[in-house]
Amino acid sequence: MVFPVAQRWLLAALILAGVASAVSGSMDPYFLDVVMGVGVSVVLASSLNLINGFTGQFSLGHAGFMAVGAYTSAMLTTVVAPRLGWNPLLLQWVFFPLSLIAAGLLAAVAGLAVGAPSLRLKGDYLAIVTLGFGEIIRVVLQNMDVVGGARGLTGVPAYSNLFWTFGTAALTVYTVWALLNSTHGRGFLAVADDEVAAEAMGLDTTRYKITAFGIGSFFAGVAGGLYAHLKGYLNPGGFSFDKSIEIVVMVILGGMGRHAGVVFAAILLTLLPEGLRELGSRSVPNPFGGADWSLDWIKEMRMILYSLMLIVLMLMRPQGLFHRSERRRRGA
């Protein structure tokens, strides 16, 4: 009887997102921006967790699929939508979600195109192929004048609100969760646990891997669409390897293959840079007299901290920070 409970949670989350969205008019825009960013991160991290965590593959190109989705939905709302002559409310509540689905579908197609040839490969090869694919997407976007090329795409309408970001986040977490309790999900877990054994049991491991990859890419694309309509501006450079790494760190920090841990890590790692930025703008009184010590250096340390965290985590706690026995695994 786990399903109905989970569905009730999903419903509660959606209603909460709707209420929050309705009262968000009076909230501080900066605060709203950060909070919606958290929602997008949760979508990204949960969907990557499906690929990297539950299915045990290692994708380094999540930002690439996000870019496909971001550009698809942004092109739909900036080029197609104005020609329809719909009123703004209809655009935000009907056209925008459709564009998000289109974004997800195109990203999924891209995911399948990459996944089909490369998922026959093992761990590190797959990492490199997905990384390479992310780079190809970036180069292609930079060379496409229709989408603004290297200058970027501006004037994307701000359709993302609390309802869309958090509703999608809740839906993503629910979908990944529900999927893992289905036949498909058991297949994913079997592939992650022991690919050879799974194959010996008659599972089509490549098909399971490709399915997981396609679904993960779909949500990455949706997250891209949300991101585009949150920032209002897209630049191919924003979907670089660094972005993929950021998502990977969320999944690893949360513990690969943990639902709640990854969501929590996504929230933490999205708020952390904001906190560091805030901290960096302050200064500490100098105990020896003289000028105050500026904490300016903290701003530059973010990526250094990320990378150190990654290394130390792998050396000390490769199972992730928030490891609890949410899912028992035999052996490794």
Partner 1 sequence: MTEFLQQLLNGVLLGAIYALIALGYTMVYGVLRFINFAHSDVFMLGAFVAWYSVEKLGLPTQSIGGGLAALLLSMSVCAVLGVVIEKLAYKPLRQRSTLTVLITAIGVSLLIQNVAQNSRLGFGPNPKAFPALFPSQQLHFGALTVSTHQLVVLGVALSLLGVLYWIVHHTRIGTAMRALSFNATAASLVGINNDRIISFTFGLGSALAGAGGVLYAMNYPSIDPLMGTLPGLKAFVAAVLGGIGNLPGAALGGLLIGLVETFVSGTRLSTFRDAIAFGILIAILLFRPAGLLGKLKVEKV
Residue 206, helix vs strand vs coil: helix
135 binds partner 1 (CB under 8 A): yes
Distance (Å, whole) CA 67 – CA 230: 14
Main-chain dihedrals φ then ψ at residue 154, nearest 5 degrees: -110, 170
Least Cβ distance, residue 124 to partner 1 (angstroms): 5
d(CA 312, CA 75): 41
Closest C-alpha among 26, 32, 29 to residue 163: 32
Please give the Cα distance from 134 to 138 (Å, whole number). Answer: 6
Segment lying near partner 1 (by CB under 8 A), choices 23-31, 38-46, 213-221, 304-312: 304-312
- The reply to whether 204 sits near partner 1 by the rule CB under 8 A is no
Query: Considering the rule CB under 8 A, would residue 331 count as an interface residue with partner 1?
Result: no
Count of positions on this chain that bind partner 1 (CB under 8 A): 44
For residues 266-291, b (16+ Cβ closer than 10 Å) or e, as one string?
Answer: bbbbbeebeebeeebeeeeeeeeeee
- Please choose, from the candidates 296, 119, 99, the residue with its C-alpha nearest in 3D space to the C-alpha of residue 209: 119
Structural contact between residues 175 and 108, judged by C-beta atoms closer than 8 angstroms: no
Which of 288/297 has CB closer to partner 1? 297
Residue 220 engages partner 1 in binding (rule: CB under 8 A): no
Smallest distance, Å, CB 210 to partner 1?
Answer: 14
Could you tell me which stretch among 68-76, 95-103, 282-290, 305-313 binds partner 1 (CB under 8 A)?
305-313
C-beta of residue 57 within 8 angstroms of C-beta of residue 212: yes
State which of positions 160-199 bind partner 1 (CB under 8 A).
196
Q: Is 146 in the site for partner 1 (CB under 8 A)?
A: no
**Beta carbon nearer to partner 1, 27 or 301:** 301
Instruction: Kindly state the helix (H) or strand (E) to which residue 308 belongs, with its residue range.
Output: helix 302-316
By CB under 8 A, the residues from 225 to 254 that bind partner 1 are 241, 245, 248, 252
Q: Tell whether residue 308 is a contact of partner 1 (CB under 8 A).
A: yes
Beta bridge mates, 293? 284
Mark residues 84-103: x for contact with partner 1 by CB under 8 A, - for none: --------------------
Residue 293 sits in the site that holds partner 1 (CB under 8 A): no
3-state secondary structure of 283: strand
Residue 303 in the binding site for partner 1 (CB under 8 A): yes
Q: What residues line the site for partner 1 (CB under 8 A)?
A: 56, 58, 60, 114, 117-118, 120-121, 123-125, 127-129, 131-133, 135-136, 139-140, 142-143, 196, 200, 241, 245, 248, 252, 297, 300-301, 303-304, 306-311, 314-315, 318, 332
